[in-house]
Every structure is written in structure tokens, then in C-alpha cells.
Amino acid sequence: MSKVAIITGSAGGLGKGIAKRLGKDGFKIVLHDINKEMLDNTLKEFKDAGVDSVAVVGDVSKREDQFNLVKEAVDAFGQLDVFVNNAGIDVVSPFLDIDENQLNKTFAVNVNGTVFGTQAAAEQFIKQDTKGKVINACSIAGHESFEMLGTYSATKHAVRSFTHSASKELAPYKIRVNAYCPGVAGTAMWDRIDEEMVKYYDDMERGDAYKQFVEGISLGRSQEPEDVANLVSFLASDDSDYITGQAIITDGGIVYR
Ligand SMILES: NC(=O)C1=CN([C@@H]2O[C@H](COP(=O)(O)OP(=O)(O)OC[C@H]3O[C@@H](n4cnc5c(N)ncnc54)[C@H](O)[C@@H]3O)[C@@H](O)[C@H]2O)C=CC1
Ligand SMILES: CC(=O)C(C)=O
């Protein structure tokens, strides 16, 4: 029987790339996003391509939405095997401007969302008494804290920490918890980061911040969703069964650990 994967924030960007790859790998796909219009379009695309898929609208920062997402997946396909905590948001600001609203919002989506998603998936895996895989979106910013991205970097460090602690506690239930740490991928997220960053520097124009980050990549090009999906495909597969608690960097050579 085909396995079932949920990918949060998969209406576009890296999440959509991951969902496409897992669909090719033979998974039944549960698309998910807060943006209903984008999600409807993506679901149509998947169905037209023959991927056995459903879509659920939800907000990862709401615990009840995450548990509802798992319920909808199980109602549709009868089981759950992989939960990808992909949804995340960015924020750009100098350290001295960080405020309560920025901290609360970014932590609510990136950190609380990952915790709630992991809890909802783990509850289902334990009920099924099957091996389960939780795969979290971390970042190179979860290994190194970047200027102007302090709050974002802190959330990704927290994601890495929860990847470690959850993997230890959930191992007795055969649940593996790992994370992928992308570098610089030209999605809507980087469009927003670039647009915000250049506002703070008089000598920078739109596109310059992105260009500067890309110039620092050893392999000489920015990241494609497929590059990230290759790693997630491995983490979702049986080939990674002996790996848990790892936050693996895929960045073409920016951050060396
Ligand atoms: N683009 C990049 O260079 C990098 C991205 N990442 C991480 O990868 C993940 C995906 O990033 P991108 O695809 O680039 O971002 P994106 O902004 O292009 O796409 C994120 C998707 O998540 C959805 N979303 C946002 N808030 C949500 C919420 N509360 N509930 C449900 N869905 C929500 C959005 O509607 C969007 O479809 C994020 O966690 C991000 O932090 C990590 C490192 C680098
Ligand atoms: C968006 C992101 O995680 C970085 C540091 O590129």
C-alpha cells in the first residue's frame, strides 16, 4: 500500500517542490497551506499530473489546525507515514528594532507550528504502531545566526533543538525526527528578504542582498526546490531509517559544520 505524506506550507516554494518529489516517490500527498487560493491551484496541478492528493487549509501556529490536518489526512487515505513541518515565515530587522509582535509572530509559526505538527503526527504514528518520520524545515540559519535575520535565526535554532529533543523522546515509538537545512533558494521567501534588506542600506538596490548571498555559495549557484527535495526524499525513505535527530545542511557550500 502507498505511504502517505503531509507537507505543510506546500502551496508554493520549497514545500511544493518537496510534495512533487514525494509524489514521484509514490507517496499519497496531503498538500496544506494557509493560502487557500494558492493551495487550490496547486491541488489542481497535482491532480492533473495524476498524483493521488488532497489539500487541507490550515494555520500551523494553531495546535487544533495541526491535529485537524492529521485527522483529514487519515480520513482521506487511512494512515500517515511522513509529516514534513515545512511552513515557515521570514522577518528582516536590525537587532535593536526587534519587537514583541515580531518575536511572537515568527516564533508562533516557525517554532510552535513545528512542535504542534510533530505532536499531531506522533500521536497518529503511536496509534498506528508504525514507523513514522517527522522532517522539519530548519535552515543554515539554524546553525549560524545571520545579521538582520536575528529573530528568524533564533526560530531555526529552536527548530534544531526540538528536532534533537523530540528524536530522543520519540525513538522508543520508532519515530525518526530529522531536519533539512537549506541555504539560499530563490522562492517568495527570498524575494521578501531581499526587498526588506535593501531598505536598510543606501548603497543597495533590489536584488543585491540575494545576489550577495548567492555569490557566497561555493558551488556557484542558488538552490532549487529540487535540491532540497532530494534530501527530504532520502529522509522520508527507508534508506534513512538509522538516522534520527539530525539537522542536515543542503546549501551548496555556505555554512560548514
Ligand atoms: N527559501 C530559502 O532560501 C530557505 C527556506 N527555508 C525554510 O524552508 C521553508 C519553506 O520556505 P520557502 O518555500 O522558501 O517559503 P515561501 O514563503 O516561499 O513558502 C512558504 C509557504 O508556507 C505558507 N505558510 C506561511 N505561513 C503559514 C502558516 N502559518 N500555516 C500554513 N502555511 C503557511 C505560505 O503561504 C507559503 O505557501 C520555511 O520553513 C523556510 O524557513 C530555510 C532555508 C532557506
Ligand atoms: C531564508 C534562510 O533561511 C536563509 C538564511 O537563507
**Any atom of ligand 1 within 6 Å of the Cβ of 184:** yes
Mean pLDDT over residues 190-216, rounded?
95
Q: Which CATH architecture has domain 4-183+226-250?
A: 3-Layer(aba) Sandwich (3.40)
Q: Closest residue (by CA) to atom 6 of ligand 2? A: 184
Q: Residue 186, annotated ligand binder?
A: yes
Task: Give the residue extent of every domain in the chain.
Answer: 4-183+226-250, 186-222
- Please determine, for residue 1, whether its predicted confidence score (pLDDT) is greater than 90: no
Supply the mean pLDDT for the chain: 98
pLDDT at 189: 98
**Rounded-to-integer distance, Cα 164 and Cα 159, Å:** 9
Q: Residue 225, annotated ligand binder?
A: no
Distance 141 CA to ligand 2 centre (A): 6
- Please determine, for residue 234, whether its predicted confidence score (pLDDT) is greater than 90: yes
Q: How far is CA 15 from CA 34, 144, 172, in A?
A: 13, 23, 29
ipTM of the complex: 0.98
Distance 14 CA to ligand 1 centre (A): 7
Q: CA-CA-CA-CA torsion for 22, 214, 183, 43, nearest 10 degrees?
A: -30
Q: What is the pLDDT of residues 56-107, one digit of tens each?
A: 999 999 999 999 999 999 999 999 999 999 999 999 999 999 999 999 999 9
Q: Are 164 and 65 in contact (CB under 8 A)?
A: no
Catalytic residue among 152, 200, 201, 210: 152
Query: Ligand nearest 15 Cα, by number?
Result: 1
Query: Ligand nearest 144 Cα, by number?
Result: 2
152 is catalytic: yes
Question: Candidates 151, 159, 184, 197: which one to mutate for ligand 2, based on the most atoms within 8 Å of Cβ?
Answer: 184
**Rounded-to-integer distance, Cα 229 and Cα 224, Å:** 9
Residue whose C-alpha cell reads 514507523 in the numeric block = 131
Q: Residue 152, annotated ligand binder?
A: yes
What percentage of the chain carries pLDDT values higher than 90? 99
pLDDT at 3: 98
**Any atom of ligand 1 within 6 Å of the Cβ of 229:** no
Q: What is the pLDDT of residues 137-181, one digit of tens each?
A: 999 999 999 999 999 999 999 999 999 999 999 999 999 999 999
